[in-house]
Amino acid sequence: MSISWNVFRSVNYITMCLVRTSNRNILNVRFCPILRLISYSQPHFKEQYEMTFLRTHGEPIKAKFKEGDTILDVVVNNSVDLDGYGACEGTLTCSTCHVIFKKEDYDRLPEKPSDEELDMLDLAYELSDTSRLGCQITLSKDHDGLEVRVPSTINDARES
Ligand code: FES
């Protein structure tokens, strides 16, 4: 098999992975092993920022993020110990990624929640006016220092 054929197959595979993850509305290397391998084998030049998860019980948890990460990515990439968080992996079917923003941070979020997110939020415990689903929040450098509160209990809507 020629080298160019192998290159073609690799590019084709990566493209398929990108399409697959885009269709799931989740541009994330977690869902594609080859993208993950490429990502982790490259030097990480992107600047890192920090956010904090405030828990009802337990110490606050600080975690690093890069621009373009969702809050769900932050939990996964930092192995943040939030039991059951992000159970549906960002497919908007569980509401376990519920977080509560401070009012001023909530008002600065670039996008309003979609109808699908609002439907799922209705099933979350401890819902507030500043609640969002972490899998739907994409972070930028403007979120450096962000603090979000994590409810004391989660509801996996798939089990209702
Ligand atoms: S991770 Fe399931 S709705 Fe966000």
- pLDDT the model gives residue 23: 47
Pocket test for ligand 1, best of 69, 70, 74, 95 (most atoms within 8 A of CB): 95
pLDDT in tens, 103-140: 999 999 999 999 999 999 999 999 999 999 999 999 99
Where b means 16+ CB within 10 Å and e means fewer, 117-136 reads beebbeebeeeeebbbbbbb
Higher pLDDT: 34 or 93? It is 93
Residue nearest to atom 3 of ligand 1 (CA): 92
Q: If you search the block for the tokens 């941070």, which residue do you land on?
A: 105
Between strands 98-101 and 131-133, the pairing is antiparallel
CA of 49 to the centre of ligand 1 (A): 23
Ligand 1 atom at minimum distance from 117 CA? 3
By the 10 Å C-beta count (0-12 exposed, 13-18 middle, 19+ buried), 77 is classed as middle
Q: Mean pLDDT over residues 84-100, rounded?
A: 95
Cα(24)–Cα(13) distance, integer angstroms: 17
pLDDT in tens, 16-70: 545 454 544 445 555 555 555 555 555 556 899 999 999 988 899 999 999 999 9
Q: Which ranges of the chain would DSSP assign to H, the alpha helix?
A: 3-23, 33-41, 71-77, 103-108, 115-121
pLDDT at 141 over 90: yes
Q: What's the Cα-to-Cα distance from 55 to each of 86, 90, 147, 153, rounded to whole Å? A: 16, 21, 10, 10
